[in-house]
Amino acid sequence: MRHTLPIAPQFYVTAPQACPYLDGRLERKLFTSLQGEHAQKLNDTLSKQGFRRSQNVLYRPSCAECSACLSARIRVADFQPSRTQKKLLKRNADLRRNATSPWATEDQYALFRRYLDTRHADGGMADMDIFEFAAMIEETPIRSRVIEYSRPAQPGEHGRQLAAVSLTDVFDDGLSMVYSFYEPTMQARSLGAYLILDHVEIAREAGLPYVYLGYWVPGSRKMGYKAGYSALEIYKAGAWQDLGDPADHRAELHPLSVDPIAEQVARIALPEARPRQD
């Protein structure tokens, strides 16, 4: 299907930097600004072509000699949870979901800090303060929701406690999980996986056909878990297609050099593409 953009956006390319997914590789991003009255339409259109949102920017990898990053989405109507995933849903049946406007809170930031300090202490987001966190949550020119998950109180606690949070965009054809974080002490619950399963249910309830998961990267341990969801599609060679056997997809060769066009394109810095969940 051909998607027509409402305007002719200007695109830029970032300077090469270390790839966060595959060791020894370089990455560049193609990006455009997301603002104005056509922001929602632009986001809906480009997201169907493998782009992701980071605050008021849409981007996708645009590496010189590597095309390993493949946008992935779950086809809701055909999704069937595995036996393990069914057990996971039952294990987290006591969680309560609450969808709110994209507004940052101190409780969210406290959970976010515990999550980073435990799981990503040396990552690119490790030094985010509360103001940067608020910008990540609140600076959205499109339809976005913060979906909170709370657990029952334990002895000595008062009221339900925040267990997980997902910043989620609403497209015309689905939900996009921009960034998620959760209580690191609740490892047995596999909350990251549970949030994906629950988003499939949210999309089903809303009559939306897809849940967008960001990038699946063959050969990357960080991204490998996405292949464990049934009815997974990837955007490859300009079209969405069934994932099939994950072993059939291989990361391309290491870019030994970066083509000179990068030096000719405006080096406009991407505003800390913090949500690298994908």
Q: How many CB atoms lie within 10 A of CB 270?
A: 15
182 found inside a domain = yes
Which residues on adjacent β-strands are paired with residue 60? 30
For the chain, the domain total comes to 1
pLDDT tops 50 at residue 277: no
223 found inside a domain = no
pLDDT tops 70 at residue 3: no
231-242 pLDDT, tens per residue? 999 998 889 999
pLDDT band at 124 (very low <50, low <70, confident <90, very high): low
Residue 78, pLDDT score: 97
Please report which residue ranges of the chain form alpha helices under DSSP H.
39-47, 83-91, 106-119, 130-138, 191-206, 261-264
pLDDT tops 70 at residue 138: yes
241 found inside a domain = no
Could you list the residue range(s) of the whole structural domain that residue 170 is in?
Answer: 76-211
pLDDT tops 60 at residue 254: no
CATH of the domain at 162: 3.40.630.30
229 found inside a domain = no
Q: Give CA separation, 219 vs 68, 123, 224, in Å.
A: 9, 19, 7
38 found inside a domain = no
141-172 pLDDT, tens per residue? 999 999 999 999 888 888 899 999 999 999 99
Phi, psi of 137 (to 5 degrees): -80, -45
pLDDT tops 60 at residue 253: no
User: What average pLDDT does the chain have?
Assistant: 85
64 found inside a domain = no
Give the global pTM: 0.84
258-271 pLDDT, tens per residue? 333 333 333 434 44
58 found inside a domain = no
131 found inside a domain = yes
pLDDT tops 60 at residue 215: yes
pLDDT band at 252 (very low <50, low <70, confident <90, very high): low
Residue 274, pLDDT score: 44
